[in-house]
Structure 1
Amino acid sequence: MKIEPQHVVSLTYNLYVDQDGTENLVEKTTEEQPLTFLYGAGQMLPKFEENLSTLSTGDNFDFKLTAEDAYGIYDEEAVANLPKEMFSGTDLPQIGDVLPLQDNNGNRFRGQVVSVAEDAIIVDLNHPMAGQELHFTGNILNVRPATPEELSHGHAHGPDGHHAH
Structure 2
Amino acid sequence: MQIAPNTVASLAYVLTDTQGDILDQADAQHPFVYLHGAHNIIPGLENALSGKQAGEELEVTIPPELAYGLKDDNLLQQVPRAMFAGADEEHIVPGAQFHAQTNAGMQTIVITAVDGDTISIDGNHPLAGETLHFKVKILEVRAATKDELSHGHAHGPGGHHHH
Cross-structure match for 1:110: 108
5 Å-filtered alignment, 1:5-20, equals 5-19=5-19
Between the aligned partners of 1:25 and 1:61, the Cα distance in structure 2 is 17
Cross-structure match for 2:93: 94
Deviation at 1:89, TM superposition (A): 3.2
Between the aligned partners of 1:76 and 1:163, the Cα distance in structure 2 is 37
Deviation at 1:73, TM superposition (A): 1.9
Between the aligned partners of 2:148 and 2:100, the Cα distance in structure 1 is 28
Q: Which blocks of at least 5 consecutive residues in structure 2 are unaligned? A: none
TM-score (norm: length of structure 2): 0.89
The more displaced of 78-87 and 24-33 is 78-87
Equivalences, count: 160
Cross-structure match for 2:132: 134
SS at match of 2:18: strand
Amino acid in structure 2 at the alignment position of 1:12: A
Q: Which blocks of at least 5 consecutive residues in structure 1 are unaligned? A: none
**Cα distance change, pair 142–94 in 1 and its aligned pair in 2 (3 A):** same
Structural RMSD (CA): 1.9
Amino acid in structure 2 at the alignment position of 1:127: H
Matched-pair contact (CA < 8 Å) for 1:38–1:146 = yes
Amino acid in structure 1 at the alignment position of 2:95: G
Amino acid in structure 2 at the alignment position of 1:42: H
Between the aligned partners of 1:90 and 1:130, the Cα distance in structure 2 is 26
**Cα distance change, pair 74–89 in 1 and its aligned pair in 2 (3 A):** closer
Q: Deviations over 1:72-91 (max 9, x none)?
A: 22233421222211222331
TM-score (norm: length of structure 1): 0.88
Amino acid in structure 2 at the alignment position of 1:39: H
Cross-structure match for 2:50: 53
